[in-house]
Amino acid sequence: MPDLIGKHCPYLGLKEDRKSLVGFPSTGNFCFHCKTPAVPLMEHQTQFCLEAAYSSCPVLSIDPKLPFPAKLKAKVIKAPAEKSNLLRNLLFLVVLFLILIISALFYKKLILSDIPAESLTTIPVLIVETATPTEFLEPLIISTLDLPTTVPTETTTPVPTSTPVLFQKHALDTPIAVEGNVFIIHKVLPKENFDILNKTYNTNVTVIRAINYLLPNSLWVNLPLVLSPGMTTVHPKLPAFEAYMITDAAVSIDDLAVQKKVDTSLIRQFNNCTQGCILHEGDWVLLPHPQ
């Protein structure tokens, strides 16, 4: 961490360690001159928090017992639910399934006990072999990227099951294929670092930094990252991306482009969305920013 003593606001720091901070505008920087620590807007950090002119910051003139001004507060991506909730729900489903199986066996035994043995006949069992998927998505590697002028046609693959399955197209770790490249949004796991990400996704730090908009110098758990498996060089026309989670119940891709002030055609292209396609709460999308 660079020495910024005297060059930044003394009330700026990390949430877990207020004596340290990120040396550029970041959602990791919090203002402690308020009732509850809050992340200032990136523009506010650039103009006041990270400059020697922090003494003229309007927040310093406010009573520190009051909340941080809403108009100066940055919108921070919410942390996901704890993994323990998923494990607990999975365990509950397993226990419920076992109870149903045991109940069915007991009911069958109870019914059969009242039927004479000579009346029972052998019922032929039809064994249906199901195909086991053996193919996995291979990362696509290209050295150049020609941005298409038309929107790729979306195709739907039927799910071989008798019960309806809800598939979230714009989810974490879900591949988005664009012109031979594959992009995913991934949240940093415990003990993951740049070396582990490079080996896991066959890429390098230069590419990761180039395709992530305003990427901090260090990684932390649950930090959303944009990754491109197999990409080792970056095309000069490729934008940098910001991983963004939809918080509205429903919003069109075109309205989101206007709200976030990004290019409409690029946000459609890199999220495989046609004009007017609807995104829902909890979806993750790539917001393109010029390099």
Residue 167: what pLDDT? 47
pLDDT at 268: 95
Domain 176-289 has CATH 3.10.350.10: yes
Is residue 94 pLDDT above 80, yes or no?
yes
pLDDT in tens, 217-227: 999 999 999 99
What confidence tier does 104 reach under pLDDT thresholds 50, 70, 90? confident
The domains of the chain are located at 12-72, 176-289
Q: Give the pLDDT confidence of 161-211 residue by residue, as tens digits.
A: 444 333 457 899 999 999 889 999 999 999 999 999 999 999 999 999 999
Per-residue pLDDT of 52-67, as tens digits, reads 888 889 998 888 899 9
* pLDDT at residue 240 greater than cutoff 90: yes
- What is the DSSP secondary-structure string of the chain? ----TTTS-TTEEESS-TT---SSS-TTEEE-SSSS-BPBPHHHIIIIITSGGGGG-GGGGS-TTSPPPGGGBPP-PPPPPPHHHHHHHHHHHHHHHHHHHHHHHHHHHHHHTTS-GGG--PPP------PPP---PPPP--S-----SSPPPP--PPP--SS-----SS-TT--EEETTEEEEEEEPPTT--HHHHHHHHT--HHHHHHHBTT--SS--TT-EEEE-TT--S--TTPPEEEEEE--SSEEEHHHHHHHHT--HHHHHHTTT--TT-EEETT-EEEEEE--
